[in-house]
Amino acid sequence: MAITIEETPNPNARKFTTDSLIFQGDGSVSVMPGQTSEYDIMNQLMELEGVDNVFGFQNFITVNRLPDADWDVLTPKVEGVLTEFGY
């Protein structure tokens, strides 16, 4: 499976797109600090050090980092979670 990583206009957000659906239907999923989701993948991403919040829709997840988090450290961890879930 392939994961594409894209910069966004927000320097604290990156979009991780897979070649298969992560979320079924037309609804989006977001998790803010202190919240949990029915989707384990979102909860595991929120547990990563440096992640502020996550947003998902169909085949992508946007990860927002804390301002002091380093993308060079965080990006491989996010990819690891996606890979662990088969994406």
Residue pLDDT, tens place only, 18-31: 999 999 999 999 99
- Condensed to tens digits (0 to 9), the pLDDT of residues 44-68 reads 999 999 999 999 999 999 999 999 9
3-state helix vs strand vs coil in the chain, percent to 5 = 25, 30, 45
Please state the domain extents for the chain. 3-82
Is residue 1's pLDDT more than 70?
no
Asked if the model's pLDDT at residue 9 lies above 90, the reply is yes
| Contact partners, residue 49, CB within 8 Å, separation at least 6 | 69
**DSSP code for 20:** S
CATH number at 3-82: 3.30.1370.70
**pLDDT of amino acid 63:** 98
